[in-house]
Amino acid sequence: MNRRGFLASASGLAAVAAEEPKPSRIIDVHTHFYDPHRPQGVPWPGKKEPVLYQTTLPDRYRKIVEPLGVTGTIVVEASPWLEDNQWVLDIARDNPIIVGLVGHVEAGKPDFKKNIDRFRKNRLFLGIRLGGGPVSAGVGNPAFVDDIKHLAKANLELDALGDPTMFASLVRLSDQVPKLRIVINHLPWDMPKEEAKRAEAQQALRELGKRPQVYAKVSGVLRRIYGRVPDDADFYRASLDEIWEIFGIDRVIYASNWPVSDLMAPYATVLKVVREYFAAKGKEAVEKYFWKNSVAAYRWTERKG
């Protein structure tokens, strides 16, 4: 290619990049805030995780994300200590970048309904997160199912964290509580290598994809390959295409999993990969993925800065 052709090509690529649809706002629906140096410490992360074991609060988050166009976040509580839910809600009061909290309250345990009714008095309390183990054990427990029905009746959602073996249990829970909004965390997951288990998990995930109240939190995209983390959307296209095919334009949601994502790559890289992928889907897909679908899933409301 001669110089004139090269310049024309470069100019064309720049024009295409400039025309890529950009979201009018970005809501990150999965972050963790904590302070290991407070008097009571933290149950997670541990001191042996130096990347994570540091003060991780809204000021630090804002400095990283505001230049990237992120305008708000939903915090997911990783601590099993009940009062840490209130600790985050107290922090959120003076930090409008926090548009909601997914709390840590264990269904099927005493005082679940009492605790849910207490926390939901704060409009920032949007739901709870449960692991795959408790979900799988709980679907056969009437007390657990009754608690989840209470959650749904309160118009709160359930974040589900676990590997693909939990998908079948989520189908069953969705059958038991049809009005429950479920957000599956950290997709896309690597499916089991064993053929029978892989087939079962894929079938269950596709069944979940047919249910309009089930959403896919796309927060587990990046992979480390031979010591390197590719930052090209094409590398992840097959796994993202599968999630897109199953859940469609209305039920995929952006999330970073920060600061855990720092173990894999800087925040800017996490965001770059999914921006490239969804930009190719057009303006409507970009708007829905980066914030509109999160409103439908979590029912968060605007805060005044």
Q: SS3 string of the chain?
A: CCHHHHHHHHHHHHHHHHHCCCCCCEEEEEECCECCCCCCCCCCCCCCCCCCCCCECHHHHHHHHHHHCEEEEEEECCCCCCHHHHHHHHHHHCCCCEEEEEECCCCCCCCHHHHHHHHCCCCCEEEEEEEHHHHHHHCCCHHHHHHHHHHHHCCCEEEEECCHHHHHHHHHHHHHCCCCCEEEEEECCCCCCCHHHHHHHHHHHHHHHCCCCEEEEECCCCCCECCECCCCHHHHHHHHHHHHHHHCCCCEEECCCECHHHHCCCHHHHHHHHHHHHHCCCHHHHHHHHHHHHHHHHCCCCCCC
- Determine the Cα–Cα distance for residues 289 and 252; give it in Å rounded to an integer: 6
The residue behind tokens 């009754």 is 146
What's the mean pLDDT in 141-147?
Answer: 98
Could you give the C-alpha distances from 216 to 39, 105, 221, 252, in angstroms and in order?
Answer: 37, 21, 12, 5
Indicate the range of 5-14, 17-26, 41-50, 173-182 predicted with least confidence: 5-14
Q: How confident is the model at residue 12 (pLDDT cuts 50, 70, 90)?
A: very low
Q: What's the chain's average pLDDT?
A: 93
* Distance between CA atoms of residues 83 and 93, nearest Å: 16
Structural contact between residues 109 and 146, judged by C-beta atoms closer than 8 angstroms: no
Residue 227 backbone zone (phi > 0: left; psi -120 to 50: alpha; other: beta): left
Confidence of residue 304 (pLDDT cuts 50, 70, 90): confident
Question: Among residues of the chain, what percentage have pLDDT more than 90?
Answer: 91
Among residues 223, 206, 237, 303, which one has the least CA distance to residue 269?
Answer: 223
Cα(302)–Cα(304) distance, integer angstroms: 7
pLDDT above 70 for 161 = yes
Cβ 300 vs Cβ 253: under 8 Å: no
Confidence (pLDDT) at 10:
40
Q: What phi, psi does 199 have (nearest 5°)?
A: -65, -40
Note the pLDDT tens digit of each residue in 49-104.
Answer: 999 999 999 999 999 999 999 999 999 999 999 999 999 999 999 999 999 999 99
Whether pLDDT at 243 is above 80: yes
pLDDT band at 20 (very low <50, low <70, confident <90, very high): confident
pLDDT given at position 92: 98
Which residues fall within 8 angstroms of residue 249, CB to CB, at 6 or more apart? 281, 284, 285, 288, 289
Q: What's the pTM value of the predicted model, to 2 decimals?
A: 0.92
Beta bridge partners of 75: 31, 101
Pairing of strands 157-161, 182-187: parallel
pLDDT at position 8 is 42
Residue 152 has pLDDT above 60, yes or no: yes
Confidence check: pLDDT of 15 > 70: no
Amino acid (1-letter code) at residue 305: G
- Ordered structural domains, the chain, with CATH: 26-298 (3.20.20.140)
